[in-house]
Amino acid sequence: MKKKFFGMAAAGVMLLTLAGCAGGGTTDSVDSAAGPKSLDELVVGFAQVGAESGWRTANTTDIQTAFEDAGIELKFSDAQQKQENQIKAIRSYIQQGVDVIAFSPVVETGWDAVLNEAKAANIPVVLTDRAVDSQDDSLYVSFLGSDFIEEGKKAGEWVVEEYKDSTDPVKIIQLEGTTGAAPAIDRAEGFAEVTGADDKFEIVASQTGDFTRAGGKQVTEALLKSNPNVDLIYAHNDDMGLGAIEAIEAAGLKPGEDIKIVTVDAVKDGMQALADGKINFIVECSPLLGKQLVDIVKQVNDGETPEKRIITEETTFTQEQAIEALPDRQY
């Protein structure tokens, strides 16, 4: 065991040395002169956002399972929703000389420095789930995840349809995801684009609940006091919607009836609330990215160029559809 570890470490040093000889820092793919490694020699470092939601937990499990099934070693770190922790984890993966780094950036901006360090070390980076806002797209080999603007639009389209016969103003509270995170920015944008076409739709308050249940509850409690006549809550994820349900019930109102709720994700707890009529509509966002991430790692290892942008396929759910889908829902 010890011997094998030493052998692997020595191979890692050799790879780094070779990369150095090849003039590392100028390419964004693995040094092909070293040839593909066998899968049990590969080491991938994954820097996860945290464990803020049901979606995130399902995403972590799916990624860990996929790498285990593929027989590829996965180093895992949880940044507890802090960018500085994620940067530290990425730097440590660079130092350890992993073969590929994958991460889900907690916020969009502020990654260029650390991604340039990975590039200089010739370690390919894969973005999973969330995007970075960088001018330089040579800093990552592929971005695998959902189209969050599209998700926001789908939420908005349901709202437009639901209130199509109403001439009264529709007062909306928006529970935003983590400030500066791609899904928070884009889900707000897509929703505003669709509902903004008719000025009867009024976003009367919009605040972050940080993608957590506790955050959604707390923000809703406070916002219901200043906006007692709200018609609908648009939450950027199920967990915040589930928190909002608690706050609405505590205020003596009926979620799904007195105040309608639209969310994004479609995790089991959200789907149950939709089936129970407490949420009215959910836009799906799939956390099952593990197998596709493994495929990207294999392609990079084989010296192939993965697709730069891989968009996850997703659907939407009404109450009837949730009741039908629930028994087979994996997460």
Binding region for ligand GYE (CB under 6 A) out of 47-55, 114-122, 136-144, 156-164: 47-55
As given in the structure block, the two tokens for residue 246 are: 């608690």
Strand locations in 118-267, DSSP E? Answer: 125-128, 142-145, 170-176, 201-208, 232-235, 260-265
Characterize the bridge pairing of strands 309-311 and 170-176: unpaired
Binding mask 193-232 for ligand GYE (x = CB under 6 A): ------------------x---------------------
Question: Residue 39 and residue 292: Cα distance in Å, rounded?
Answer: 16
Question: Residue 229 and residue 236: Cα distance in Å, rounded?
Answer: 21
**Which residues, in sequence order, are bridge partners of residue 263?**
282
As given in the structure block, the two tokens for residue 57 are: 């937990």
DSSP run (H or E) holding 78: strand 73-78
As given in the structure block, the two tokens for residue 195 are: 């509902």
> Which of 15, 42, 48, 53 contacts ligand GYE by CB under 6 A?
53
Per CB under 6 A, contacts with ligand GYE among 238-257 are: 239
Binding mask 147-186 for ligand GYE (x = CB under 6 A): ------------------------------------x---
Phi, psi of 260 (to 5 degrees): -80, 155
Binding region for ligand GYE (CB under 6 A) out of 3-11, 48-56, 153-161, 220-228: 48-56
Q: Is 52 in the site for ligand GYE (CB under 6 A)?
A: yes
Binding region for ligand GYE (CB under 6 A) out of 51-59, 158-166, 274-282, 302-310: 51-59
Q: Is 191 in the site for ligand GYE (CB under 6 A)?
A: no
Report the interface residues with ligand GYE, using CB under 6 A: 52-53, 55-56, 129-130, 183, 211, 237, 239, 264-265, 285
